[in-house]
Amino acid sequence: MSNPMHSRRKELTVFPTGGVTLSCKAILSDLDGTLVDSTICVDYAVQTWADEHNLHLGDLVEKAHGRRTIDIVKMFTPQLDIDAEVKHLEDLETSCTKGLVPIDGAVELLSRLSPHHFAVVTSGSHRLATHRLTHTKLPIPKVFITADDVTLGKPNPEPYILAADRLGLEAKDCIVFEDSPNGIKAAKQAGMRVIAVAVRSAEHDINDADYIVHDLTWVTLRVKPDSTLELTLQGAEEV
């Protein structure tokens, strides 16, 4: 789960000098694999839980990426105490801080965004997401959509629709950063443009995004005088 660029994906196309430029009113971003590198902690929790219940790890990784913990538990162990298993999985994840660091470029990008320009939209619980942001010293945004805030998680569009609504924006005014097929599907169904961050997307197919960047150092942000955001993608792949 370490190769950020996949053999099935076409080669990255480096745009002409200046890159490709996109405009929006806000950025809505997933958390794990997009703003925070939590790969080691996620792998530890998933491997431990799979071993405990004799689950097929490959199947679990493929279907679980980008989903809420409660949806994963219901999918793979519906016969067990759902609330107890959700808590156990989250305990495993919050017990780990090994390798838990910001994705390259995340600190600089977030430092340029005002509260009305940004939201985090994660499938993690408020407890888990707060743990990750606090440990990596990334800001906790004013609009912070977690698994606790929605009835239906990704790939349903509800989380992204809710984030746009709380920012007072329409879907077309938002650009989403994602790293999972489930998250990309949710954002696209919400009517938003999607930039996939590939550095920790492993072997998941992220080609349904509108653009693919390796990490957030490939994204340059400028806040225009009218408060519109201008994003320049250097070396991005346009899908």
- The 3-state DSSP class for residue 173 equals helix
Residue 116 counted as domain residue: yes
Q: Are residues 176 and 89 in the same domain?
A: no
| Average pLDDT of every residue of the chain | 90
> What are the distances in angstroms from CA 1 to CA 85, 124, 194, 205?
25, 20, 22, 13
- Is 137 in the same domain as 232? yes
**Which residues, in sequence order, are CB contacts of 17 under 8 Å at separation 6+?**
none
Residue 19 has pLDDT above 80, yes or no: no
The predicted pLDDT at position 61 comes to 81
Both 225 and 117 in one domain: the answer is yes
Residues 111, 177 within the same domain: yes
52-99 residue pLDDT tens? 999 998 888 888 888 899 999 999 999 999 999 999 999 999 999 999
Please indicate, yes or no, if residue 11 is contained in any of the structural domains. Answer: no
Q: What is the pTM of this model?
A: 0.88
Provide the number of structural domains found in the chain.
Answer: 2
Highest-scoring range by mean pLDDT, 6-20, 129-143, 198-212: 129-143
Q: How do residues 189-225 score in pLDDT, each as one tens digit?
A: 999 999 999 998 877 899 999 999 999 999 999 999 9
Q: Which domain holds residue 83?
A: 41-94
Positions marked active-site:
30, 32
Cα 123 to Cα 184: distance, rounded to the nearest angstrom: 12
In this predicted model, what pLDDT tens digit does every residue of 43-54 receive, in sequence order? 999 999 999 999
Give ∠ CA 50-53-55 in degrees, rounded to 5.
50
Side by side, the strands of the sheet bearing 20-24 are 20-24, 229-233, 219-223
Indicate whether 110 belongs to any domain. Answer: yes
Asked if residue 139 and residue 182 are part of one domain, the reply reads: yes
* pLDDT of res. 122: 98
